Amino acid sequence: MTSKSRRVPILVIIVVAVGSIGSYLLTTRTVMSSPVATFMLYGKLFFDYNGNGNQDRGEPGVPDAVIALDGKNATSTSSAGWYMVADLTRGNHTIRSFPPRNFRYVCESVAEHRPVEEPHEISVIDDTRKDIGLMEGFLTLPFSSSTPVEIADHFDHDPGLDRMWWNGRTLTGSGGHSPPHTHPGIDLVMPIGTVLVAAVSGRVAGINTTPGSVYWIAVSIRDGYGMTYLHIDKPLVSTGTTVKRGEPIALSGDTGSPGSPHLEFQLWRLMPDSKHYCIDPYSPVAGVPKGAWIAGAWEWFPSDETWVSQGYWTRGNDPQYFDKALAAERGTCRIELDVSPKPGQVNRPLTISGVMYGSWRCIRDGMVVRKPVTITAGWGFSTVLTTDYYGRFSISTNCPSTGGIYSIIATFYEDEDLTETSTTIQYEVVAKIPTTITISYVGNREFGGYLRRVDTGAYLAYKPARLTVTYLSGTTWRTDSFDLQTRQDGYYSLEFLFYWNTATIVFEGDETYASSSATITR
């Protein structure tokens, strides 16, 4: 990576003693310190539906959010959710986002999550990318997207009615709950042996497999929250195990409810009174009583406190699968490739550059950021470059020692985000750079013309040229040659007042430029 550097002036005060009486002369001088390297921090702020820390297909960027670095507002996100902070010194920094209020949690990976108020720490040793996933809650569904599931019961929001759900619906009949009209979780009907996964990262707090009882496994989450999986067939992890989102922890069953295989998923929070309060992962709609069930006593605790009814799915009341990204199709991309100068000259420098564009993820304003591009040239040169913050890549090398037409190929190989793409251009390498020279007779008194490069049209200054003229001298035709030199603007001239028949101008070339000539006749 190319870092910027700056010189920091240091004011040095020098006290010089003069004379034996200790009088002092105070002088100052400015000393320039060694250059201080600075780097760029950039990334994407996005709505992380499945809580894995990666922006997957369909997960939008979050615009107009303030980004604070080391406790100070530094920038804000673009319309696509991108941010960039320049001139950072090497070392550890903290970064925090200030998104819309509906976003309460952030995550970097399936192994963690935290309230949006907590900053991330990041180590900057080069230009660094830091993406930040935002979530409204922290829960994803406790099973994979391939699991056949039917919801039998939701969390019951009104002990006075039989099963009033978060969306205001009621269901008649006791449903066999004990006590009646009490349901502190969500019943999900599924086949016995279905793999159940951690709905968020945490630590296994307890397991029960007492014969004849409801088997369950409980996972504690941060900030006093936890979740319990009931009616399981058997656990797949042990107490004390740290689990990640999407990690298998148990198999579903029908323990405690023979013949009725299902999972009851409970979310709870341990409060300062040492009681566990079961809460609804959904946020209830207007008019639905707000509250929690006190575990064990199964008493209803009416409350308007935010933590009771704010909802805990990563995307509002639309629960997401943890493995949604696995089934997502990859985005497409394309590469624009260029080589300069054109044509190249044997053994002389050339620059291969380009821009990679894409359709989604790792995209900033249509450019693909931080992806590898493999460059191969027909003369055996090969390297791998990485696109920068603007989707660009570039490398300088030398042309081969033999002239010819060579293929130069830029390839991106398929990864988890984008499909493969490749671009090829045919590049000419010449032994010498072609030139062209013109000749005309100006004002019936002067031969003149220009010497220039064929490829760029640039004028060639201070180059020798020989003018050969056949002309009438008295009554005799003769042919003479005149050695000339082009001016700074590539123009040569010779005043010639004799009557002439033909004139030829020749540039014989040199180690860099090929020869060229032109003829004019009367």
The enclosing domain of 370 has a CATH number of 2.60.40.1930
Task: Give residue 21's pLDDT.
Answer: 35
**Beta strands, E only, 209-348:** 216-220, 225-230, 232-235, 242-243, 248-252, 262-270, 276-279, 291-294, 299-302, 333-340, 344-345
Average pLDDT, the chain: 88
**Last-in-domain residue among 430, 445, 462:** 430
281 & 362 share domain: no
- Name the domain count of the chain: 4
Task: Give residue 240's pLDDT.
Answer: 97
Task: Give residue 176's pLDDT.
Answer: 62
pTM, whole model, 2 decimals? 0.66
H or E, element range at 458: none
On whether residue 457 sits in a domain, the answer given is yes
**Last-in-domain residue among 105, 135, 165:** 135
156 & 294 share domain: yes
100 & 245 share domain: no
Task: Give residue 327's pLDDT.
Answer: 47
Work out the percent of the chain whose per-residue pLDDT is above 70.
Answer: 89
229 & 174 share domain: yes
Asked whether the beta carbons of 471 and 460 are under 8 A apart, the reply is no
pLDDT digits (tens, 9 = 90+) for 141-167: 999 999 999 998 899 988 877 778 888
On whether residue 314 sits in a domain, the answer given is no
28 pLDDT higher than 60: no
Report residue 222 as tokens: 């941060």
The rounded distance, in Å, linking the Cα atoms of 163 and 376 is: 66
On whether residue 315 sits in a domain, the answer given is no
169 & 276 share domain: yes
2 pLDDT higher than 50: no
The rounded distance, in Å, linking the Cα atoms of 268 and 220 is: 9
159 & 296 share domain: yes
On whether residue 376 sits in a domain, the answer given is yes
Q: Which of 397, 395, 353, 366 is nearest to 379 (CA)?
A: 397
The rounded distance, in Å, linking the Cα atoms of 304 and 158 is: 14
Report residue 16 as tokens: 């010089």
414 pLDDT higher than 90: no
344 & 362 share domain: yes
On whether residue 25 sits in a domain, the answer given is no
Task: Give residue 13's pLDDT.
Answer: 42
Distances from the Cα of 80 to the Cαs of 47, 61, 102, 421, in angstroms? 11, 5, 18, 24
514 & 425 share domain: no
The rounded distance, in Å, linking the Cα atoms of 253 and 263 is: 7
20 pLDDT higher than 80: no
Sort strands 132-135 and 36-47 into parallel, antiparallel or unpaired: parallel
On whether residue 420 sits in a domain, the answer given is yes
**Last-in-domain residue among 83, 103, 135:** 135
**Residues 504-521, mean pLDDT to the nearest whole number:** 94
pLDDT digits (tens, 9 = 90+) for 429-483: 988 888 999 999 999 999 999 999 988 899 999 999 999 999 999 999 999 999 9
Q: Which of 237, 241, 240 is nearest to 251 (CA)?
A: 237
Handedness of CA 252, 255, 260, 263 (dihedral sign): negative
The rounded distance, in Å, linking the Cα atoms of 133 and 121 is: 15
Distances from the Cα of 464 to the Cαs of 79, 125, 484, in angstroms? 59, 54, 6
**Residues 162-185, mean pLDDT to the nearest whole number:** 76
Phi, then psi, of 119 in degrees rounded to 5: -75, 160
**Domain that residue 300 falls in:** 150-309
355 & 410 share domain: yes
- The CATH number covering residue 172 comes to 2.70.70.10
The rounded distance, in Å, linking the Cα atoms of 435 and 455 is: 8
Task: Give residue 366's pLDDT.
Answer: 83
pLDDT digits (tens, 9 = 90+) for 88-107: 899 999 999 999 999 999 99
- The one-letter amino acid code at 65 reads A
Report residue 148 as tokens: 């056949």
Task: Give residue 15's pLDDT.
Answer: 42
Asked whether the beta carbons of 378 and 406 are under 8 A apart, the reply is yes
* Confidence at 177, pLDDT banded by 50, 70, 90: low
H or E, element range at 309: helix 306-309
Task: Give residue 406's pLDDT.
Answer: 95
323 pLDDT higher than 50: yes
399 & 466 share domain: no
SS3 content of the chain, % helix, strand, coil (to 5): 0, 50, 50
Q: Which of 448, 429, 305 is nearest to 379 (CA)?
A: 429
Task: Give residue 114's pLDDT.
Answer: 94
Which DSSP string do the residues of 337-399 spell out, in sequence order? Answer: EEEESSSEETTSEEEEEEEEEESSSSEETTEE-S-EEEEEETTS-EEEEE--TTSEEEEEEE-
Task: Give residue 169's pLDDT.
Answer: 84
The rounded distance, in Å, linking the Cα atoms of 93 and 243 is: 28
Task: Give residue 278's pLDDT.
Answer: 96
11 pLDDT higher than 60: no
On whether residue 21 sits in a domain, the answer given is no
Report residue 513 as tokens: 């430029």
- The CATH number covering residue 62 comes to 2.60.40.10
Task: Give residue 393's pLDDT.
Answer: 97
296 & 380 share domain: no
77 & 166 share domain: no
Q: Which of 418, 413, 227 is nearest to 312 (CA)?
A: 227
* Confidence at 415, pLDDT banded by 50, 70, 90: confident
Task: Give residue 126's pLDDT.
Answer: 86
The rounded distance, in Å, linking the Cα atoms of 53 and 292 is: 31
Task: Give residue 171's pLDDT.
Answer: 75
192 vs 21, residue with greater confidence: 192
On whether residue 445 sits in a domain, the answer given is yes
The rounded distance, in Å, linking the Cα atoms of 478 and 482 is: 13
Write down the residue that tokens 């639309």 correspond to: 318
Task: Give residue 296's pLDDT.
Answer: 87
Asked whether the beta carbons of 46 and 131 are under 8 A apart, the reply is yes
Cα-Cα-Cα-Cα dihedral of 140, 117, 99, 141, to 10°? 0
Task: Give residue 326's pLDDT.
Answer: 46
Work out the percent of the chain whose per-residue pLDDT is above 90.
Answer: 67
